[in-house]
Structure 1
Amino acid sequence: MSLPGDVDVIVVGAGAAGVAAGRALARAGVRFVVLEARSRIGGRAWTRASTSDGFSPYGLDLGCGWLHSADQNPWVGIAGSLGLTVDKTTPPWQREMPESGFPVEAQRGFRNAQNSFYERMEVEAGKAGDRPAVELLEPGNPWNPLIDAISTYVNGVELDRLSVRDYDNYHDTMINYRVVEGYGTLIARSGAALPIITDCPVQTIDHSGTRIEVTSAKGRISARAVIVTVPTNLLARDVIRFMPDLPQKREVAAVLPLGLDDKLFLRVEKAEQLPQNSRQFGALDRRATGAYHFRPFNLPVIEGYFGGQCARDLEKEGLDGFAAFAREELVRMLGSQWRDRFTAIAVSTWGLEPYSLGSYSHALPGHWDKRAVLAQPVDDRLFFAGEATSLHSFSTAHGAHESGERAAAEAMQALSISAADRNR
């Protein structure tokens, strides 16, 4: 698709938020285009095509993989409408796993410590002010390192950089599904019919004139309104330059940074000897450890999760570094006979990916109220979406979806596009 000369709305970014905004604009009959810097649709949702691995139809999600709050998640219905398969198997973290090598009594002790920590967080969130979540750990509790490690998987960051009140604002129904073909596949297919121009990074957004002028790698285009869905790390670093400048947006984005979570997929020989759909931690007594999901979908693979500083350190070493780290942890858990049974298939390095520079957002302590500020339009012509602008579903693809629909509605209202226009 070639770049049009002018449209009513430009959407910057074809991740979950940009696709949702585009679908809403398309339903209303609005003239729009989506400009995507990558060569693919999906943003931080990215499924590795698994046909070469012999896993078809299963997809390996290097980005988001779980349909969180699935009973309220709009992507569940979209998956059904596209003929994709939703798997409702209970995730391993929501059940006891006697087969995991983590003694059941120890699992219960950990869960009690973790639940007590979350209860203290909830009480603290009801008070005025804010503080780092790390301050609510029970001094000397032996489960503190693992609680902190789990924060790196859930939030992408350690507890010393996590706002108590922001974390408490997250809404979770505790129902989690997966898309067999991949979450990234779902979002890419949902945007396939939209006017999306890929390999088209936006460089400047000039909103000084009557129309907004956007400069991209493929030329200039003007619009009446622009919906910006790029991650906060890009906004904070002025990867896209606004003219006039938007210093408040840049400052707010900086205190809503993306944490880091990476995934490693290992093919496993004699995988049938491992418990299906179970999870083990590489270590129970330190923060820098991986979480390993054995045989998801009964595939002969291990899906490894690495977060926070641990992931950041491993990214410096690439696939080989992740694989070596995981192999040592797995051999320590399973025995030396497993050392040569693992083959690295793929790894994500979201912190090095130039159009994300991280995985998903968290609020720094003291800045729990900034998501609403980031979401506020500018002059009723610039609108902002993305998971970081969601008040209660941040860090998720469904939060991004809801924000995209919200920004599209704001843009149409500002442009006086009514419901009647949908029948034009």
Structure 2
Amino acid sequence: MNSEPDIAIIGAGAAGIGAARRLAQTGLSISIFDALPRLGGRAWTYKTSVGAVDLGCGWLHSADRNPWTRIAEESGFEVDRRLTAWGEQYRSLGFPKAEREDARRAFARWSHRVATGQPASDRASDALDPDGPWTAYLQALSGYISGDELERISMKDYAAYDEASTDCNWRVPTGYGALISASLPVGVELHLATPVEALTLGQSRILLQTARGTVRARAAILTVSTNVLAGGAISLSSALDPWREAAARLPLGNNEKLFLEIVGESPFAPESHVLGDPHDPTTGTYYIRPFGSPVIECFLGGAGARVAAAEGHRAAFDRAIGQLASLFGSSVRDCLRPLIASDWAHTSSIGGGYSHALPGQADARIALARPFDNRLFFAGEATHTSDFSTAHGGYESGVRAAEEAISALSPRSR
């Protein structure tokens, strides 16, 4: 292990890999550390008996400007640009067309108020229709989009994301996580299953304490999740308390995925979608047979994801199968088998889904992204002011932090 690299990167997710890709062009020595035994962070393509599934990010959001789209094409990964079934309800099961249109109008009214109103409270829930019939539906959407209920979401923060989004969503058939993990450049010294336990600010070096020894780096880029940074997993100097406090104002929401295997004959059509129950804020949303594969992806957000984390996988699978049976008929229980589930809430080196700003705290993203002493730099999706909660936001933040580090260490090497 190089005990004195020029730059140490803590975290080997999209942000850490983005930083490493930019730094690899400079000739500086780079070491990257991650507590997990794999690359990718919240991007994880998991190989099952019936094919690969993405337990973390799965969609190239804003794909027409997403840097991972270009990286995929340059690396030989296929990008599927077809329109998907998200937003549709297969055969209107449990959610008739008239109700869907009414619910969409409610979402449009809420979105307009968020973009134009933004009262002093900055609470997204304050943009709801009083006594509106679609509050549960909007809370479910908030869970999918932001990982939490509207009462805990900043209007300003949500509006920044919504304005920047192009609503162009493509897929990587072999897995978004596989793409990200395959994108670490050569020449970077990689240390997996090596958590950084303490970060100390020496006079001329940053000291990283790991189980494999102490690393003395000229500069470091910290890309860990906000829940990890705000917690005590990494011992930090009190001089970094403002960054911890900014991270606490940008907590990770709750998002989990369950995958069910389809066995034998079934009524499930390829590339179809259903929302479990539009009147239940904890409902799952189900993408059926993506790319024709014999699986159903159940996505849970906010309250639904918290219930799954609290009750465990068995109960979560039972609930998902029950929702599908209520739509497709009880006979589908015989052709659905639990396959694999995420557990981001209990992954200690991550601690949740993706970041959202608490009401009144959108500017914490700017505070979190500030360098410390021109030698400790911060990246990760939470530091991006408009593309937070995405892998491309993470990547772009890593490139930005790398540029800052390059400028600090050797301005002429740009």
Matches within 5 A, 1:5-404: 5-50=3-48, 53-55=49-51, 59-94=52-87, 98=91, 100-125=93-118, 129-170=120-161, 171-191=164-184, 193=186, 194-270=188-264, 273-404=267-398
Post-superposition shift, 1:354?
0.6
Secondary structure in structure 1 of the residue aligned to 2:315:
helix
CA RMSD of aligned residues (A): 1.5
Post-superposition shift, 1:316?
2.6
**Aligned equivalents of 2:413 and 2:239: distance in 1?**
33
TM-score, normalising length: structure 1: 0.94
Does the 8 Å CA contact 1:262/1:349 hold for their aligned counterparts?
yes
**Aligned equivalents of 1:87 and 1:67: distance in 2?**
10
Residues 304-334 of structure 1: CA distance to partner in whole angstroms, max 9, x if unpaired?
A: 0111122112113322121111011111111
Does the 8 Å CA contact 2:406/2:413 hold for their aligned counterparts?
no
Moved more, 28-37 or 39-48: 28-37
Residues 116-170 of structure 1: CA distance to partner in whole angstroms, max 9, x if unpaired?
A: 1101111124x6x442111111012211101110110110001010000010111
**Aligned equivalents of 1:238 and 1:141: distance in 2?**
41
Residues 62-104 of structure 1: CA distance to partner in whole angstroms, max 9, x if unpaired?
A: 0000000000000011111221111112132355754555222
Return closer, same or farther for 1:15/1:271 CA change in 2, 3 Å cut-off. Answer: farther
**Aligned equivalents of 1:95 and 1:205: distance in 2?**
48
Residues 215-258 of structure 1: CA distance to partner in whole angstroms, max 9, x if unpaired?
A: 11211110110000000001111211123541111111101000
Unaligned runs of 5+ in 2: none
Moved more, 251-260 or 133-142: 133-142
Residues 236-287 of structure 1: CA distance to partner in whole angstroms, max 9, x if unpaired?
A: 1121112354111111110100001000000113466223222212112121
**Aligned equivalents of 1:83 and 1:318: distance in 2?**
38
Secondary structure in structure 1 of the residue aligned to 2:307:
helix
Unaligned runs of 5+ in 1: none
Number of aligned residue pairs: give it: 411
**Aligned equivalents of 2:366 and 2:265: distance in 1?**
46
Does the 8 Å CA contact 1:92/1:277 hold for their aligned counterparts?
yes
Secondary structure in structure 2 of the residue aligned to 1:93:
coil
Residue 62 of structure 1 aligns to which amino acid in structure 2?
L
Secondary structure in structure 2 of the residue aligned to 1:258:
coil
Post-superposition shift, 1:28?
1.4
Moved more, 107-116 or 238-247: 238-247
Secondary structure in structure 1 of the residue aligned to 2:144:
helix
Moved more, 166-175 or 101-110: 101-110
Moved more, 262-271 or 344-353: 262-271
